[in-house]
A = this chain, B = another copy of it.
Amino acid sequence: MLFKRYVSEGLAHYSYLIADQGQAAVIDPRRDIDVYLADAAEDQAHITLVFETHRNEDYLIGSCEIEAATGAKVFHADKQWDYQYGTPVDDGQEWMVGRLKLKAIHTPGHTPGSMSYLLHDPDGNPWVLFSGDALFSGDAGRVDLLGEDRLHEMAELLYDSIFNKILPLGDSVLLCPAHGAGSVCGAKIAERTWSTIGMERKYNPIYQVQSLQAFIERHAKMLDRPPYFRMMEKLNLEGAPVLGNLPILKPLSPKEFKELVSEAQIVDTRDMIGFGAAHIGGSLSILERILPNYAGWFLNYDQPILFVCDPDSVDGVVRTMLRLGFDDLVGYLGAGMLGWGLAGFPIESIPLVFIDAFCELMRSGSDKYLLDVRGKNEMSNGGLTHAEHIHLPELLEHLDDIPKTITVYPLCRSGSRSMLAASLLKREGWDNLAVLAGGLGAWNAYGCEFDL
């Protein structure tokens, strides 16, 4: 018997493979399915079933990919929606994977048809709840996806799901949600990578509310909604295009790359230090680690994409992009920025400011614009009194508020999002930019007596 979890870093997406006696099933597969195929094969099992907990909005689900590779039957939730693949699931429906029983439990709220699946152990005891985006470790799924009009309705549904359907399963059942800490699908998912319904009952703030009313007040909120969600929602109904193989990201010579620059989006995944020091004009700085979180905010599906990245990170970058449905990946700068420079092509930079100089600058009272791009929930960690706050995802909508004549200092925890903000502003025409190396973390750690 096999029971295994797969973490898609960045998206903090969890998928699961279970196998017994030669049969296997995947819950909420991602689109790069090689891992499931390899592990099932090693366990001498064939994937015959795929389960979706809901129509996902934050990544492209790999159900059709597995179906194409194995002939597995795909079951999806949200049966009232118009899927172009698979079979809808009924509340209470059951399947066997070898000796393992799976039972669907309708747990709406995140979406109207969201399903959880209760896995039983080989002896038939309730064992694991695949809760999708209904219940997370430390949080519950967002209820704002159908819009403000249906916010309360969905919150009520979710309340009913997590209090009246999940909680009664008992403290001892393992909780296996579709996301872990870091996902945009929950505001405050805990770092407890494995959890139980009992731990959630005790430690999850969402379970500490005393009434439906209190739940709604706490949880019925409109959250950030990256623009790529719409594409995911569309494709997850149509069925994601089948890839067959993971595509090859082509290494491009500086000359080849340069010829493509004008019509493409350029993503530079190197760290803020390298990007700040030297980058190609017009490129966006999106550190590989935050690429899953920001690609969907700042890239479009209409233009091809070029990458400046470490050759070792090509595989990870490609997987991230495919998971978000960005399939038009043209290539990467094979020789890196060193090769670009060696070819005599123009290089641009955004100054890094180190913490001691920055501290001096703060004391000096010189003209500057401090732009804090962190989210609201991070503000409690401290910040600079005089900073303006524009949450990074909303930056492009607030360009008018940002001066061009004095130096703009984007700020965040470590500097990575600051550099992304700076690269966005630069692309939009700002020249006067600088980034604090180490961000507010450095500020805090350095102990500048000023402010804060």
A interface residues (Cβ-Cβ under 8 A, vs B) = 1, 3, 21-22, 37, 41, 44-46, 69-70, 121-123, 125, 127-128, 170-174, 190-194, 196-199, 201-203, 244-245, 248, 250-253, 270-274, 276-278, 310-312, 314, 331, 334-338, 340-347, 349, 352, 354-356, 413-416, 437-439, 441-447
Contact = CB atoms under 8 A, between A and B. Distances in A.
Contacts of A199: 125, 127, 172-173
Contacts of A171: 170-172, 196, 198
Copies of this protein in the complex: 4
Given A22-B335, A172-B172, A344-B438, 16 more contacts: A1-B193, A41-B248, A70-B248, A123-B203, A125-B199, A128-B194, A173-B198, A196-B198, A198-B198, A274-B277, A338-B415, A341-B415, A342-B438, A344-B443, A345-B445, A349-B352
A91 to B, nearest CB: 25
Contacts of A172: 171-172, 196-199, 201-202
Nearest to A341: B438
20 contacts: A3-B194, A22-B252, A46-B248, A69-B245, A70-B248, A121-B192, A170-B171, A171-B198, A174-B194, A196-B196, A196-B198, A245-B245, A272-B338, A273-B278, A273-B341, A341-B437, A342-B414, A342-B438, A345-B445, A346-B355
A274 B272 contact: no
Nearest to A37: B248
A416 B338 contact: yes
A252 to B, nearest CB: 8
